[in-house]
Amino acid sequence: MPTEKKAQSIDRLEKEFSKANIGILTDYRGLKTPEINGLRRKLQDVNGDYKVVKNTLARKAAEKINRTEITGSFEGPTAVALGYGDISQTAKTFSDHVRTSKMNLTVKGGFMGSTLLTPADVTAIAALPPREVLVAKVVGSIKGPLYMLAGVLSGPIRGLQNVLTARIKQMEANN
C-alpha cells in the first residue's frame, strides 16, 4: 500500500498522463539542473512540461489510465516531456532545444494517446509542420477540385449567355 504522499504523486501523474496529448520519455542521466530548467522553460512556452518521474509511480499511474503499453519504457532514470497543446509543436520545441543546447539527452520513446512511440516516431513528429499548416494544406487540396467543378458546371450556362447576347446584338444591328 503506497504512502499518502506516493498516492498523491500517482494521482497527479495519472491526471497529467491522461491530459497530455504527447509524452516523450527520456533518460536524463548526466544533465545538470540548469539544463533541465532551460528545457522546462522552453516547453512551458508551448503548453508543455518536463518532469523527472519515479519509475514505479509512473508505471502505476499509466496502469490506472489503461496505458499499460508504456509501462515497459519506465526503466532507469526517466523524465517525461509532456505536451498539452499541439503535438508537433511540443515535439519540435523539445527536439530543437536538445539540438541547439547540445544536451546529451537520450529519447527512450513516448506515447501519443494510447499509441506507443519509438524514438524515430518522436523525430518524425518533430519534423511535421504545425497543425494550422496541415489544415491549410488539406483545405487547399479540397478547394482546387471544387473550383474546377464550379468552372465546368458554369461553362454551358456561360455559353448560352454568350449565344443569347450575340443574337440580341445581331437583332439590334438588323433594326
The range of the structural domain enclosing residue 162 comes to 130-175
Strands 106-112 and 78-83: unpaired
Task: Judge if 116 and 142 occupy the same domain.
Answer: no
Task: Judge if 139 and 97 occupy the same domain.
Answer: no
Q: Which helix (H) or strand (E) holds 48?
A: strand 48-53
Task: Judge if 69 and 135 occupy the same domain.
Answer: no
Domain total of the chain: 2
Task: Judge if 122 and 136 occupy the same domain.
Answer: no
What pTM value is reported for the model? 0.72
Query: What pLDDT does 20 receive?
Result: 87
What is the chain's mean pLDDT, rounded? Answer: 86
Task: Tell me the pLDDT band of 1, cut-offs 50, 70 and 90.
Answer: low
Task: Judge if 55 and 80 occupy the same domain.
Answer: yes
How does DSSP classify residue 108? E
Task: Judge if 46 and 120 occupy the same domain.
Answer: yes
- The mean pLDDT of 44-58, rounded to a whole number, is 89
Tally Cβ neighbours within 10 Å of residue 4.
7
Rounded to an integer, what distance in angstroms lies between the CA atom of residue 71 and that of residue 59? Answer: 5
Q: pLDDT tens for residues 97-153? A: 888 888 888 888 888 877 888 888 888 888 888 778 888 888 888 888 888 888 888
